[in-house]
Chain A
Amino acid sequence: MQYLVSVINDSSDLATQEEMAAIDAFNDRIKAAGHWVFAAGLGSPDAATVIDNRGDEPLFSDGPFVESKEYLVGFWIMEAADLDVALKLAAEGSKACNRKVEVRPIL
């Protein structure tokens, strides 16, 4: 089963050198254990463009689809047998990147 582990930022600070090193070490560890599927950091919401092509022609608009103080700055996709395993990995990930994370099952 796969889980999306979203990294939530509640400040505008970028990851520090130390945090990057901890994230790398964490990634190596979960790759070795077979939990790593994918991971990425994201550009800031200011760089977002929203596209709606449900109508006759695509509409493009600037900015994130929802303005909020907390936003997604990165994510992991992890392979885990069940939520307990995913929560344990997510807790380690939160420690490594020094941010809150949210775990959601991928259907």
Chain B
Amino acid sequence: MSAVDARAAVTRAHREEWARVVASLTRRFGDLDIAEDAAAEAFATAVEQWPARGVPPNPGAWLTTTANRKAIDRIRRESKRDDKQREAQLLYDDEPPEPLGAIEDDRLRLIFTCCHPALAMQTRVALTLRMVGGLTVAEIARAFLVQETAMERRITRAKAKIKAARIPYRVPSAEDLPTRISGVLAVLYLVFNEGYLATGAGTDPVRQDLTAEAIRLTRLVRALMPADGEVAGLLALMLLIEARRTARVSASGELVALDEQDRAAWDASLVAEGHRLVRERLATGMPPGRYQILAAINAVHTSARDVRDTDWAQIVALYDQLARLDRSPIVALNRAIAVAELDGPEVALAAVDRLEDSLAGYHAYHTTRAELLRRLGRGRESRAAYDRAIELAGNTAETAYLTRRRDQLGVRD
């Protein structure tokens, strides 16, 4: 075994086994901090040993055993100082390895604990990426443009709160499950969106590391909860957006609007997978939730070979359905964009203008107005709306796009 192969094996094991190792240790030791440290140490040991001794036949089992030993070492070290009794308990803990089903459940427990509503949203995101995703604190800090020490503090504080307030390590009861799942999905969607429309002047406009991680984690949740419609819906939504990733930003780093994208550049296999999930949900005949409707809207867009073939009536109908579930002004804004294609820009502009009170600070509101005013030949107002959108947009590709659109407006208007 070459060193390169061994390193590749560690990388693969990290991707496939990290969450499992952390989850099973958390259940055994009842402590996220111990589980995280021991898992990290086990992977570090693998990096040292696998090149020389070869990759063990069952890397997952090897890592879990090694991490268990590291955790017991640490507890022994610490219990020399205080808790002798706990040490004794651990020394004689020789439960047989868990059957596969229970281990699967452990990862789900871990996800629900990291996404607990008693934690701040940003903390849930960070904790999920660390404990379930296995990203390093440095990577997470970089992704969210904060100092590594600040991110470390946030994660440490979260682990301390979980322990002190006794946030349980379990899958919520059937009664609480729907709301708690939507909390988990909100975390995953936030990770995805931060990747898809990264904010910050110094970052890449699209953070593929984050979109890929969000998809990977959503696939994991889907594998653990295959019957949940919203999980399937969110995965489909992410896949259909991710499929357009390369077409969405031009070579010069400018955002390419949906109607200008080279549709041949879309990832056909991701589109097919997304469509399959949407069809699968439709076939159940169950009323769709928010993510399923958003996925269906994206399925309609990605079904059109040419933007002119887009079934706008279908899209408006789906937005109507969504608006019944989610009265947010952002849904109303997106509906208006589709209405512009169906009933013309004047009708759409009237709908958009009604949203001013709630959306005046949101760049997409001004972008939409700018585009509609432009189509109505109201150049001066359009320019002012682009100006405001540029001020508010945080994404570099979007700013570049908006600037070009604004500068294309005739000077006369």
The distance in angstroms between the C-alpha atoms of A103 and B168, with both chains bound, is: 15
The distance in angstroms between the C-alpha atoms of A82 and B167, with both chains bound, is: 6
Q: Which residues of A contact B176 (CB under 8 A)?
A: 84
Q: Which residues of A contact B165 (CB under 8 A)?
A: 83, 103-105
The distance in angstroms between the C-alpha atoms of A107 and B167, with both chains bound, is: 14
Q: Which residues of B contact A107 (CB under 8 A)?
A: 164
Q: Which residues of B contact A84 (CB under 8 A)?
A: 167-168, 172, 176
Query: Helix, strand, loop or mixed for chain B's interface?
Result: loop
Give, as a whole number of angstroms, the nearest-CB distance from A57 to chain B. 36
The distance in angstroms between the C-alpha atoms of A9 and B197, with both chains bound, is: 40
Q: How large is the interface on B (under 10, 10 to 19, 20 to 34, 35 or more residues)?
A: 10 to 19
Q: Which residues of A contact B168 (CB under 8 A)?
A: 81-84
Q: Which residues of A contact B172 (CB under 8 A)?
A: 84
Query: Helix, strand, loop or mixed for chain A's interface?
Result: mixed
In this assembly, does B118 line the interface, its C-beta being within 8 Å of a C-beta of chain A?
A: yes
| Chain A: CB-nearest residue to B162 | A83
In this assembly, does A22 line the interface, its C-beta being within 8 Å of a C-beta of chain B?
A: no
The distance in angstroms between the C-alpha atoms of A86 and B370, with both chains bound, is: 50
In this assembly, does A72 line the interface, its C-beta being within 8 Å of a C-beta of chain B?
A: no
Q: Which residues of B contact A1 (CB under 8 A)?
A: 166
B118 A82 Cβ-Cβ under 8 A = no
B118 A87 Cβ-Cβ under 8 A = yes
The distance in angstroms between the C-alpha atoms of A83 and B117, with both chains bound, is: 11
Give, as a whole number of angstroms, the nearest-CB distance from B82 to chain A. 15
The distance in angstroms between the C-alpha atoms of A105 and B165, with both chains bound, is: 5
| Chain A: CB-nearest residue to B176 | A84
Give, as a whole number of angstroms, the nearest-CB distance from A62 to chain B. 34
Give, as a whole number of angstroms, the nearest-CB distance from A97 to chain B. 20
Q: How would residues 168 to 208 of chain B score, 1 for a CB under 8 Å from any chain A CB and 0 otherwise?
A: 10001000100000000000000000000000000000000
9 smallest beta-carbon distances between A and B, as pairs? A82-B168, A82-B166, A105-B165, A83-B167, A83-B165, A84-B168, A83-B166, A105-B164, A1-B166
Give 5 CB contacts A-B under 8 Å. A1-B166, A82-B168, A83-B116, A83-B168, A84-B168
Residues in A lying within 8 Å of B, measured CB to CB: 1, 81-84, 87, 103-105, 107
